[in-house]
Amino acid sequence: MTSRAEILAVAEGLSLGAGPAALAVDVGGTGMKAALFDAGGRIVDARTAPTPECTHSAATEVMDVIAGFHSAFADEHRDHPVTEAAVVIPGIVDEASGIGILSANLGWRNVAFRELLNERLNLDVTLSHDVRAAGRAEFDLVEDTPADAVMITIGTGIAAAIRVGGRLISSGGYAGEVGFTEVAVDTAEGLFRGPIEHIASASSIAKRYSQRSGTEVAGSLDVLDAVHAGDPIAHQVFAEAVEALAAMCAQIAAVVAPATIVLGGGLSGADELLDGVAAGLESRLDVHRMPSVRRAGLGPVAGLIGAGLLTRDVA
């Protein structure tokens, strides 16, 4: 889980622009991050917490954690009274209605997050999608990002932020749910055909390695460490995930023709991932635009910064 120190290190020196003192919260599949921004758009403080487990009460528990973030900042930073908040969550999110339509990984369906959080925090709350917010931060704040770009975040699930002609595409919250994209990949166990999240998400990489090797690992970064240590099973599992990601990216390239694909999430720091996806695109695309592939410049803090940017949209 990203630490407070890591958040502050990435956000140091960034300014989101003038606006209200604001609370920004990024709800991830395994960890939650919160930041307090001052009226100048600079980060004042940050906090983290584990994301509640996938149960029938997960949505309520997530809102409890958000309320705790708000209370802690209010107690510790009385000189920055919060007047606006933005919360970004995973899954299918309808920004217009403020409803979390579905989170397969956290277990909620049709939750009126914006209305409930408005009442809970006594603030105007903006609700958005975590990866769409991360994409906005990358597209707006990282230099030389073209008008046609896609950001793909590889975490507990896989999702994308899609920008076409300089405009983020939401389509009622359904755009970018690429984790359900079907891919076909030859693996050491035979042909895999199914949703890409089942072979290439961070959680699936760890699960597949543990099942195949008989060695339990805490997460996908442990599998990457095993790749670097020369473990042949880890190499197989990771290579299969990269091949699946390249297949999905080729489908995306055929549909929206991004000039750049940005890869985010903890695994995006691996050169093997970026180089493998780029090579896979080279072998698959012919007449289509060939996108460049780069890692996210804001790292695991992109979604939190994107949530902060949403508070600057408030009229």
Taking residues 45-60, report their average pLDDT. 92
CATH architecture assignment, domain 145-296:
2-Layer Sandwich (3.30)
For domain 4-136+300-310, give the CATH number: 3.30.420.40
Instruction: Give the global pTM.
Output: 0.89
- Provide the percentage of residues in the chain whose pLDDT is more than 90: 84
Q: How far is CA 83 from the centre of its chain?
A: 26
Identify the pLDDT of residue 314.
60
Identify the pLDDT of residue 315.
46
**CA 271 – CA 244 distance, rounded (Å):** 16
**CA 183 – CA 240 distance, rounded (Å):** 11
pLDDT digits (tens, 9 = 90+) for 97-113: 999 999 988 999 999 99
**CA 107 – CA 114 distance, rounded (Å):** 18
Tokens of 144: 């030389």
For the chain, the domains span 4-136+300-310, 145-296
Same fold, 4-136+300-310 and 145-296: yes
Cβ atoms of 2 and 269 within 8 Å: the answer is: no
